[in-house]
Every structure is written in C-alpha cells, then in structure tokens.
Amino acid sequence: MSADGFNAGLDMGRSWYAATAAPSPEDPTLAGEVSCDLVIVGAGCTGLAAALFAARQGRSVIVLEGGEVGWGASGRNGGQIIPGLRKGALELVQVLGVERARALFTLALEARHLVVDLVRELEIDCDLRLTGHLLGALKRSQMQDFEDEAACLDTIMNYRHVRILDRLEVRDAVATPEFVGGFVDEMGGHLHPLNYTLGLARACRAAGVQIFTGSPALSLESLGPKGAVVSTPGGRVRAEHAILAGDALLQGLSARVNRRIMPVANYIVATEPLKNPQALIAGDLAVTDSRFVVDYFRLTRDGRLLFGGGERYTPRSPPDIGAFVRPYLERTFPQLAGVPFDHAWGGMVSITLSRLPHIGRDGPVLFAHGYSGQGAILSSLAGKLLAEALDGNAAGLEQFEYVEPPAFPGGRLLSWPLHVLGMAWYALRDRL
C-alpha cells in the first residue's frame, strides 16, 4: 500500500491496523470513459456498504477511491462500537420530540445489527468483540445525567441494555483514577475497523462492483434526470446516480456537503503488548470518557492498549504523534507512565454543527457523512439506506433528511476560525 497517497496522511502506514491488515488485492486505476448505473466516490464503509447493497439490487456499480480502500476514517478509527448517535437519546427527544426521536434512534440502532450480521454472513475476520461500551463519568454531577439518559432509554426508546456503575464498580471495570461512575451499554463493543472495511470491499468485488483506487474524483457534474458525470485524472464515469461518500476528505465536489462538515484531526497510539492488559480494562470493554473532546480506549487482540486522545484544530500533524497523545494516556492510566508505543497515527473526523450525520440527496446525487466521531458502524447503515433509497424505499433516508444539520456559518473560510474557537472553548471547559 502506498505511504504517500490521497488518504495515507497522518501516518496511517504506521498504524496498528495497517500492520495487521488482511491481505487485499490491488485494484486498478480508472482509465478512459465508462458508464454504469451508480458511481460512488469513496471506499470507506459508507461507500462500500452502498455499493454492496446496490449491487445486490442488480445495479452496475463503480467505486472511485482517491487513495487506498479503507485508508480513510473507516480503517483507522478507534474501532469502538457505540450504539445510537453522537447525540444522546434524551437530547434527541428534547430537540425532535418523542415520536421523531424514537424513530431516529431506533433506526440508528439498526447499525449495530447490520454490522454484526455482515461480519457473520460475509465471514469477515475483524476481531469483532460484543463486550459492551462504557462511558466513564469524570464528575459526580454527570451521574444524574446518566440516570436521566437511562430512564429515557427505558421509558421512551424501549432500550433496556444499559446499566449504571457506581464509583467502586467502575474502578473494577477500568483501572483509572479518573472515573467516578459509568454508563455501560451492553450492545457496544469493538472491532478491527480496517479488516472490517477490507471485508466489505471483498464482498463488493464478489458482487460485481468495480473498485478503482488511486482515482480521485476531481469534478462532479449533475445532469438532473439524466444522471451525473464524475471525472478523475485518468477518466470519466457517467451514471444514473452518484453517491458522495468521501466524508472528511471530500473537498470541492458539493458546496452543500462542504458547508456542513468540519474536519478535525484526532490521534491514536497502540502500546507495546502489555503483560497484564486485563488489569486495565476488565471484560474487554470499549471505553470512552465524558469529556467534550473525548479520550477513548480498548485492548487489541494481541494485548495492547489502543488509546485515542487529543484533537488539534490545525491541518498540520504534531511532529511526534506519540508524544502528543502520551499526556492524555498517562492522565487516564498513570501506572503506564513511560510505556513504549509501537504505533501512532491520526485521522480526520468530520463533525457537523448538530452532531447528527448529514445524509440526503440532491437530484441524482446522494450523500452521507458527518457522523461526528460515531460513524464506525453508522456508516454501514447510511450506505445501506442510500442504496434502499435508489431502490424506491426512502423511508430511512427521509428520517435523516428531516434532521439535515445546518451549514456552518460564514462559509468554509470564515467558519473554520469560528468553529475552532467554539471547540477550543469546550476543550477549555474539559480542562477546568
């Protein structure tokens, strides 16, 4: 795999995922003019799930990937399976009312079942662990929020897979002095996201999807009812429909999309294999803390701690990613002070103003992105919903169209500093 390609930035080549990736065939680069029913920009989970389900409907599908399959966010994330959306159930009810909130939440829950079913059906070897997800409270005042969220899940969402941990119970679960309580969702867990994504790509090829790598889409021309044309440096694809699935790395193809997502860099390390990893996290849980700028961590199958923490609101990578993440890791686990890191990398998370994904359509062009840090499984669901909409069943898509996130104020140039200011304020609040 190329180390300096379109989606190879922030040291993806040095990630634990790249080091443990399943073998994958080399796909061709697009050359010349071709036509098909559906052209998809982006070979992450959104694009590949859309491709798979569209191909199963009998459509001819081409996927254009600027870099390597899975080297975007889908193959380099924390691998945390967190059911639901980035906005909690209670907040959804407050913003949308009971009926809409319940419908949206229930739909989002399908993502977890979909991914588990795909892993089993397609026999994807991706270390899937359905061990639960723990959200750790840093302040006692957050425990009331946890109680309220659990009550909302129970009474409004009919979702009864969560339990609250007190100070002693959370210390048994995670060996950090930081947590004063916890909120466990038993339907959560974790997986190897790159191998999951490569597994989806394998299934796509088997279903007849043509994947072109090293083929960045440079322009998109919407022809209304006549379809769309996407051009790359070496060719053009004409199709009845196009799907934009480029998430944080997508630039320039659609003003509507670009105004609604903000890319924020986030960094991860993997320690060397630990002598007694279970002493850090019991029960192999995936763990997130309750900061606005979250720290998240879990164990790998070979006994490492995989820890994500810290965000930077500049496109420049820190000179030493490991050194950048270390204070966050050691704040959570002081007992690991000085532990060697074998891997350190980063990725671009795409955030929306409402923290709800942006999924919708514009004539022949459909799109899905902006999962706001919680897209490891939602992206597969979004891809499936887009394919269903093409097939005449837009019920799921419409749920998300109704909550289209607002554009960031001030256009791309002005919105960036405003957003940075806003995020920096929350980061400061975390610190205080």
Decide: is 245 part of the binding site for ligand FAD (CB under 6 A): yes
Inter-CA distances, 361 with 99, 350, 389, 412, Å: 23, 19, 9, 21
Q: Measured between alpha carbons, how far is 247 from 198 in angstroms, rounded to an integer?
A: 18
Decide: is 73 part of the binding site for ligand FAD (CB under 6 A): yes
Structure tokens, 57: 């409907």
Name which position in 84, 246, 309, 310 contacts ligand FAD (CB under 6 A).
246
Q: Which amino acid is at 345?
A: W
Q: How far is the CB of 393 from ligand FAD (least distance, A)?
A: 21
Decide: is 101 part of the binding site for ligand FAD (CB under 6 A): no
Q: How far is the CB of 76 from ligand FAD (least distance, A)?
A: 6
Q: Measured between alpha carbons, how far is 129 from 127 in angstroms, rounded to an integer?
A: 6
413: Cβ–Cβ under 8 A, 6 or more apart, which residues? none
Stretch that binds ligand FAD, among 36-44, 94-102, 132-140, 234-242 (CB under 6 A): 36-44
Residue 154 CA, chain-centre distance (Å), reads 26
Interhelix angle for 45-56 vs 378-390, to 10°? 40
Binding track over 214-243 against ligand FAD, x by CB under 6 A: --xx--------------------------
Q: Beta-carbon neighbour count of residue 139 at 10 Å?
A: 10
Q: Could you give the 3-state DSSP secondary structure of residue 221? A: strand
Using the structure block, give the residue that is written with the tokens 């949308």: 96
Subset of residues 284 to 303 that bind ligand FAD, contact rule: CB under 6 A: 296
Residue of minimal Cβ distance to ligand FAD = 375
Decide: is 7 part of the binding site for ligand FAD (CB under 6 A): yes
Interhelix angle for 89-96 vs 98-121, to 10°? 140
Q: Measured between alpha carbons, how far is 407 from 16 in angstroms, rounded to an integer?
A: 35
Inter-CA distances, 328 with 151, 271, 308, 371, Å: 32, 13, 8, 23
Indicate the residue among 42 and 136 with the shorter CB distance to ligand FAD.
42
Decide: is 200 part of the binding site for ligand FAD (CB under 6 A): no
Subset of residues 144 to 173 that bind ligand FAD, contact rule: CB under 6 A: none
Name which position in 67, 309, 360, 396 contacts ligand FAD (CB under 6 A).
67
Binding track over 248-287 against ligand FAD, x by CB under 6 A: xxx--x------------x-x-------------------
H or E stretch at 59: none
Name which position in 45, 184, 270, 325 contacts ligand FAD (CB under 6 A).
45
Decide: is 310 part of the binding site for ligand FAD (CB under 6 A): no
Decide: is 308 part of the binding site for ligand FAD (CB under 6 A): yes
Contact between 75 and 44 under an 8 Å Cβ cutoff? The reply is yes
Subset of residues 353 to 382 that bind ligand FAD, contact rule: CB under 6 A: 369, 371, 373-376, 379
Q: How far is the CB of 201 from ligand FAD (least distance, A)?
A: 11
Name which position in 77, 195, 332, 352 contacts ligand FAD (CB under 6 A).
77
Q: Measured between alpha carbons, how far is 423 from 279 in angstroms, rounded to an integer?
A: 34
Decide: is 313 part of the binding site for ligand FAD (CB under 6 A): no
Decide: is 71 part of the binding site for ligand FAD (CB under 6 A): yes
Contact between 12 and 18 under an 8 Å Cβ cutoff? The reply is yes
Inter-CA distances, 58 with 53, 217, 228, 243, 390, Å: 9, 24, 19, 17, 12
Binding track over 377-416 against ligand FAD, x by CB under 6 A: --x-------------------------------------
Q: Measured between alpha carbons, how far is 87 from 261 in angstroms, rounded to an integer?
A: 16
Q: Which amino acid is at 157?
A: M
Decide: is 9 part of the binding site for ligand FAD (CB under 6 A): no
Subset of residues 330 to 349 that bind ligand FAD, contact rule: CB under 6 A: 347-349
Indicate the residue among 43 and 143 with the shorter CB distance to ligand FAD.
43
Indicate the residue among 6 and 416 with the shorter CB distance to ligand FAD.
6
Q: Beta-carbon neighbour count of residue 169 at 10 Å?
A: 14
352: Cβ–Cβ under 8 A, 6 or more apart, which residues? 260, 261, 262, 358, 370, 372, 405
Name which position in 12, 52, 55, 64 contacts ligand FAD (CB under 6 A).
64
Stretch that binds ligand FAD, among 37-45, 143-151, 221-229, 254-262 (CB under 6 A): 37-45
Query: Which residues contact ligand FAD by CB under 6 A?
Result: 6-7, 41-47, 64-67, 71-74, 76-80, 82, 216-217, 245-250, 253, 266, 268, 296, 308, 347-349, 369, 371, 373-376, 379
